[in-house]
Amino acid sequence: MPVRHFVKYTFLKVDAAWRRLDDDRRAADKREFIAACEDFAEGHLLRAFSLVGTRGDADLMLLSQAQNLERIHEFHVVLAQSGLMKWCTVPHSFLAMTKPSEYSDESRLEVRPAHGRYLFVYPFVKTRGWYALPADERWRIMQEHIKVGREYPSVDLNTSYSFGLDDQEFVVAFETDNPADFLDLVQRLRTTESSSYTLRDTPTFTCISCSVERALGALDGAALTVTEQL
């Protein structure tokens, strides 16, 4: 039986006071953060994104994935021990799992490795009326939704499921090199029948894909020598 994965989207906001610390202190805090990420990334998917300039309530997002929920937990425990996390809050956090789609054979049981420059992430909740529809009616409605998505091949969709795990029902993550294509896709999807069964699809996060080091460098504009020892 195919193995499903847990997926965690963790958004961090850094206290402005951290940027006023001396250079050596900030560099040490970053190195501890990187060490925690590198440890988890050995054998697990970990992607970093910067939200500096795209959101006011988050500066950085980590996307982590593992077959075991305890491993996700352990990663965040270790991450919390880093100097940088002592200056961070977590304004948004989404936990989900992968599973086969009811409506398409293109679903996947793990989030794909990075290939797009931008990732657009948001929690998604459908109305209770949607689940009251007969299964064949829901399938029919979703075929139009899927057809529209295929009109934008430059936009790749990863959907994960949160029923019973977190407040939302789904976490959707669209990946592309062209934000204009994503904007046009979302506008087109508003015209579909399935859109009338959307209860909530915010907040929406525009995330810029980068290395952990680059995401940390964007926090204070200071370069980090990753070869330095902790």
Q: What is the pLDDT of residue 113?
A: 59
102 — pLDDT class (breaks 50, 70, 90): confident
End-to-end alpha carbon distance in the chain: 42
pLDDT of 127-163, one tens digit each?
Answer: 999 999 999 999 999 999 999 999 999 999 999 999 9
Residue 226 placed within a domain: no
pLDDT of 111-127, one tens digit each?
Answer: 765 679 999 999 999 99
| pTM greater than 0.95 | no
Q: How many domains does the chain have?
A: 1
Residue 229 placed within a domain: no
pLDDT of 27-83, one tens digit each?
Answer: 999 999 999 999 999 999 999 999 999 999 999 999 999 999 999 999 999 999 999
Residue 113 placed within a domain: yes
Q: Using omega within 30 degrees of 0 as the cis cutoff, is the peptide bond preceding 134 cis? A: no
- 17: domain CATH number is 3.30.70.1030
Domain that holds residue 120: 6-220
Q: How far is CA 97 from CA 2, 60, 94, 166, 181, in A?
A: 13, 22, 10, 10, 27
Residue 127 placed within a domain: yes
